[in-house]
Amino acid sequence: ESLTEVNGFVDSYEYINFTSVRYLQGDLYGKLLALLTVSPIYIGVMCVTLVVFNRDLNMLLVCIGQMMNLTLNRILKNTINEPRPEGAPIQSSGMPSQHAQCMFFFAVCFARTSVSKRICSDRWGQVLIDGMFFALAAVVSHARVYLGYHSLEQVVVGALVGLGFASLWQSRPFQKLITWCKSLHLPSLLLGYFHFKDYSDSGIENILQFENYCIKKEKQRTSIKCN
């Protein structure tokens, strides 16, 4: 927090901690980690973009789950109230790490989504894609420790909470939410008015291949109709 005197009055300013990143001057490795540590922001923007432009019902539910995950993180931080490491640029509570919790939640959700949508038909290719999600989450968690924002214990707890909540959200609560929405005919409203896509009970093996096939067929139909 900083104080600035203007016309005899003292104004108090606060910073948004989530985007605050610093590294030692000349430390190229630290600079790379500083760039990677803002990955949750990039991924959040990507998810919202997918919801708005791709209208994927599953991604909408992932975004809802992430908001609940961040709310849980705030509750835990206020309850535990453990300070960050000595010398940290931020003086707010550090247990558990929000970045670690956020990234590991995304990693679980994206891995399960990639499996359900059969993004890669090759088994080892699928393992590689899923591994990349968790590798990025691990690197971001390491960056928070390396840059002095969290202790190792804080990022480990954050990662475990993110993994646990994502697994819970993608299992029983996730399925119950879908069932409840269907009982209210909410998917019919989303699919009909907002054109959201729901592949949960479609039985389609490869959704990306199916969408590509439909686009090609529609282009052919439109071309024949125009001619």
pLDDT digits (tens, 9 = 90+) for 209-225: 777 777 777 777 777 66
pLDDT digits (tens, 9 = 90+) for 152-200: 999 999 999 999 999 888 776 666 766 666 666 555 565 666 667 666 6
- Residue 82 domain flag: yes
pLDDT at 227 over 70: no
- Residue 11 domain flag: no
The residue whose two tokens read 């990143």 is: 21
Q: What is the pLDDT of residue 126?
A: 73
Q: Which amino acid is residue 126, in one-letter code?
A: Q
- Residue 1 domain flag: no
- Residue 4 domain flag: no
- Residue 105 domain flag: yes
- Residue 9 domain flag: no
pLDDT digits (tens, 9 = 90+) for 17-31: 555 677 788 888 888
The more confident residue out of 33 and 6 is: 33
Q: What is the pLDDT of residue 4?
A: 45
pTM across the whole model: 0.74
34 lies in which domain range? 24-226
Q: pLDDT band for position 141 (50/70/90)?
A: very high
Pick from 44, 57, 54, 30: nearest CA to 103: 44
d(CA 115, CA 225): 37
Q: Domain count of the chain? A: 1
Q: Are 154 and 92 in contact (CB under 8 A)?
A: no
pLDDT at 39 over 90: no
The more confident residue out of 161 and 118 is: 161
pLDDT at 6 over 50: no
- Residue 18 domain flag: no
Q: What is the pLDDT of residue 187?
A: 55
d(CA 121, CA 149): 40
- Residue 15 domain flag: no
| Over residues 133-151, mean pLDDT | 91
Range with the largest mean pLDDT of 12-16, 101-105, 125-129, 201-205: 101-105
The more confident residue out of 136 and 92 is: 136
